[in-house]
Amino acid sequence: MPIDYQERIPNNVDLANNRTLQRALENWQPKFLDWWRELGPSDFLAAEIYLRTAVSVDVQGWAHFGQVKMPDYRWGIFLAEPEADRRIGFGDEMGKPVWQQVPGEHRATLRRLIVTQGDTEPASVEQQRLLGHTAPSLYDLRNLFQVNVEEGRHLWAMVYLLHAHFGRDGREEAEEMLARHSGDADKPRILSTFNEPIEDWLAFFMFTYFTDRDGKFQLKSFAESGFDPLSRTCHFMLREEAHHMFVGDSGISRVVKRTLEVMQELKTDDPATVRAAGAIDLPTLQRYLNFWASSSLDLFGAEISTNAAAYFATGIKGRPDEQKFADHVANDATFALDMPGGEQTVALRNAMNEVTRAAYLRDCQGGLERWNRAIKAAGFDFALTLPSPRFRRTIGAWAGQPADPAGRILPPAEYQARLAEWLPTEDDKAFIKSLMRGVTAPGQMAAWIAPPTRGIDGLPLEYEYVRLQ
Ligand SMILES: [Fe+2]
Ligand SMILES: [Fe+2]
């Protein structure tokens, strides 16, 4: 179905023929806009930004570029086209037709999963709300806002599901999405990573690399769901999510590139000298990486999970890229888990979180390999590494275990004493903060980051991606 852009809420879900739902969403819309004004990007409401808007879900229409003021962005409800005769692809219900309505017995579970996913979307906008003032270029400023408006749309996607399929409970949950706030002492966001402040652009790039990538894997799992509207919603969100990870990946790549230029110029790898020259030393980069990677690893949940087993058995949530597995039922299969007491073999269904976490870690590795090749090619002996899934966990079997980033168990006192080696210190944060100054002249770039290799949508880097008013 084509998207009607004349509608107050652009959509391809035939909202015009469901007046009750349309009215409910039109009632939520001003509350969303109030939230955006209050807790979305601070200032810049009048700025014209070169944004990508989806005007249809097909190849021609999903990436339509033009100057838009953020409050005028057309947030809408877009589901990927339905797949004819789609069947559940895994678990005990494998082969049965997918559900167009929520089965009563799965209602509470699906609602909780949709709320938890939906909550992360506005949370990240709140976490990033002050970054616009310190963007290293107009190109980066535009990318930040692109990520923000799309996370806003992802919230719309989840709120649509709640309104359309969960009645009064769903409407109440949609209100709560705007009532919880990132970092709020009384009403925090649901997942801890989404309550961590993102106060500088290095943290932003780490977040979009590691935490948005967690989003990718959650959405891939939900794209397999037997609840078809959820599956179709996630298929479309994944396209936008790819850009968020690009922002993180290219952002970190550009930081590494600039740092290596400075190191080569000064013929040193001494962090203090690199910092004095206005670049970010690699050990600081590693500490930021350790923080955001370990925090994001928690998002996959406990190593052994009967909930995850039940989601799989009932067809609610599959594994990412389920079609790549040979066995979609996983009834007798086992999985060898790395546990504090030693390896433990459990039923594969109980280890689904670990299967997803492992796929995520492999995906994370790609960027590190590229950055490490660049470091080596520049002639330096340093390698960025992913922290072990044992490190700094607060959820699951490894929670509270004194493991270093290599996964070695240390005496607790030594672990505590050495945390400052592995995680950003106050000094690190103060240094990074000292670099954060907004650069607003078209084509200009802050000194701590290299320019991107190309502009947006074929435009030159000098293009005025954000017209500040
Ligand atoms: Fe998202
Ligand atoms: Fe995202």
In tens, the pLDDT along 277-296 reads: 999 999 999 999 999 999 99
pLDDT at residue 2, rounded to an integer = 61
From the CA of 219, how far away is ligand 1's center (Å)? 9
Q: Ligand 1 mean position to 245 CA, how many Å? A: 11
Q: Cα(156) to centroid of ligand 1, in Å?
A: 10
b/e code 103-135 from CB counts within 10 Å (16+ = b):
eeebbebbbebbbebbbbbbbbbbbbbebbebb
> Which ligand has the minimum distance to the alpha carbon of residue 213?
2
Judged by its nearest atom, the ligand closest to the C-alpha of residue 154 is 1
Which burial class, exposed, middle or buried, applies to 232 when counting CB atoms under 10 A from its CB (0-12, 13-18, 19+)? buried
Q: Are the beta carbons of 13 and 3 closer than 8 angstroms?
A: no
Tell me 209's DSSP state: I
| CA 121 to centroid of ligand 1, rounded, Å | 5
Residue 63: predicted pLDDT: 79
Rounded to the nearest angstrom, the distance between the alpha carbon of 180 and the centre of ligand 1 is: 17
Distance 68 CA to ligand 2 centre (A): 20
- Over its length of 469 residues, how does the chain's per-residue pLDDT go in tens digits? 566 666 788 899 999 999 999 999 999 999 999 999 999 999 999 999 999 987 777 777 777 899 999 988 989 899 999 999 999 999 999 999 999 999 999 999 999 999 999 999 999 999 999 999 999 999 999 999 999 999 999 999 999 999 999 999 999 999 999 999 999 999 999 999 999 999 999 999 999 999 999 999 999 999 999 999 999 999 989 999 999 999 999 999 999 999 999 999 999 999 999 999 999 999 999 999 999 999 999 999 999 999 999 999 999 999 999 999 999 999 999 999 999 999 999 999 999 999 999 999 999 999 999 999 999 999 999 999 999 999 999 999 999 999 999 999 999 999 999 999 999 999 999 999 999 999 999 999 999 999 999 999 999 999 999 999 7
Q: How far apart are CA 403 and CA 397, in angstroms?
A: 12
Residue 36, token pair as written in the block: 């955006």
How much is the pTM?
Answer: 0.97
Contacts of 81 (CB under 8 A, 6+ apart): 57, 58, 232
CA dist 235 and 110 (Å) reads: 17
Residues 103-144: pLDDT tens digits? 999 999 999 999 999 999 999 999 999 999 999 999 999 999
CA distances from 23 to 17, 29, 55, 185, 334 (A): 11, 10, 22, 33, 49
> Bridge-partner residues for 409, per DSSP?
403
Segments in 98-225 forming alpha helices (H): 107-127, 138-165, 167-179, 201-206, 212-223
Residue of 166, 155, 179, 158 whose CA lies nearest to 39: 179
Using CA atoms, how far apart are residues 85 and 67, in angstroms rounded to an integer?
Answer: 40
| Dist. CA 177 → ligand 1 center (Å) | 14
Of the candidates 423, 393, 389, the one whose C-alpha atom is nearest the C-alpha of residue 406 is 389
pLDDT of residue 68: 93
The single-letter DSSP state of residue 465 is S
pLDDT at 3 (0 to 100): 61
Contact 448, 140 (CB under 8 A): no
Q: How far is the CA of 172 from the centre of ligand 1 (A)?
A: 21
Confidence at residue 46, expressed as pLDDT on a 0 to 100 scale: 93
For residue 137, give both structure tokens. 């270029």
What distance in Å separates the CA atoms of residue 238 and residue 235, rounded to the nearest whole number?
A: 5
Q: 296 CA distance to ligand 1 centroid (A)?
A: 14
Instruction: Tell me how far the alpha carbon of residue 383 lies from the centroid of ligand 1, in angstroms.
Output: 30
**Could you tell me whether strands 342-347 and 334-339 are parallel, antiparallel, or unpaired per DSSP bridges?**
antiparallel
CA nearest to 279, candidates 423, 435, 139: 435
| Alpha carbons 65 and 469: distance in angstroms, whole number | 20
Go through the chain and tell me how many residues it has. 469
Identify the residue whose tokens are 């009048």. 46
If we measure between CA atoms, which residue out of 131, 132, 140 comes closest to residue 446?
Answer: 140
What is the structure's pLDDT at 1? 59
Q: How far is the CA of 118 from the centre of ligand 1 (A)?
A: 8
Ligand 1 centroid to residue 115 C-alpha, Å: 13
CA of 319 to the centre of ligand 2 (A): 19
Calculate how far, in angstroms, residue 189's C-alpha sits from the geometric centre of ligand 1.
15
Q: Which residues pair with 466 in a beta bridge?
A: 49
How far away, in angstroms, is 409 Cα from ligand 1 center?
35
- Give pLDDT, residue 56: 73
